[in-house]
Amino acid sequence: MHLKKLLLLLFIGCQLMASAQFISLRGTNSAQFLSDNVYEADLSHALGAEIYFSKPINFIPLPMNYNIGLDYKNIDGLNEAYLITGLTYVTITPSGFMFATNAESVTMSTYKWLNYFDLNMYNGVIIGDSTYTYKMGGEIGYNFGYVLSKTMFLHFGLSARYNYTPAYKENLYVDATSLDFVFKAGILYKFKRRFNKP
């Protein structure tokens, strides 16, 4: 059963790679500021990494993408794994970074930066020695990338993420909610446009 699920995920991933606009791979550092609505600063609360695909939404007349990916975090030895789903709104694109959604997304300038906002949901688990605890979160972020080549960007992001663990709601010894500010740094690869032959 696990093999079938793994093969299905690999198939979906290959399909996304074939049609995605870009893929992002970044390391993350989470700084926690609120814990169960109490101020508690921890500037290096969690380290992790994320990878996600982003693809244009062609049926709306806006430069928007949908995102799907994976996120991993390590908090004081505890591992957390999440599925990322969400939306991206592209504000400024560098030269040659073309979107299929509309002509307004194309710029003729020599601007070297990609800028966009995203809103993502995180659904995943805290992985204990022999237990799995469901955890969810919502994140709003600002992202920017600098052109290195026609397909490669340095990719950074700043975001605020609200986390909620339903199973911890009645537990006084662990945090059920938290607010993190996340810094992200890595690379973005833009897939080359494919045109159908007549």
Please identify which residue in the block is written with the tokens 């992202």.
143
CA–CA separation, 32 and 44 (whole Å):
8
pLDDT at residue 100 above 60? no
Cβ neighbourhood burial of 18 (10 Å; 0-12, 13-18, 19+): exposed
State how far the Cα of 63 lies from the Cα of 54, in Å rounded to an integer. Answer: 12
Report pLDDT for 8: 58
pLDDT of residue 84: 96
Percent of residues, the chain, with pLDDT higher than 70: 78
Q: What is the pLDDT of residue 70?
A: 96
Between 4-13, 25-34, 59-68, 106-115, the lowest mean confidence (pLDDT) is in 4-13
Taking only the tens place, the pLDDT of each residue in 12-56 is 555 544 455 789 999 999 999 998 888 888 888 899 999 999 988
Distance, in Å, from the CA atom of 95 to the CA atom of 90, rounded to the nearest integer, reads 14
CB 155 within 8 A of CB 24: yes
pLDDT at 104: 47
Listed in sequence order, the residues at least 6 apart from 153 whose beta carbon sits closer than 8 Å to its beta carbon are: 114, 145, 146, 147, 187, 188, 189, 190
Task: Report the predicted TM-score, pTM, of the whole model to 2 decimal places.
Answer: 0.79
pLDDT at 63: 82
Instruction: For tokens 């049926």, name the residue.
Output: 59
Question: What are the residues whose beta carbons fall under 8 Å from the beta carbon of 97, sequence distance 6 or more?
Answer: 107, 114, 190
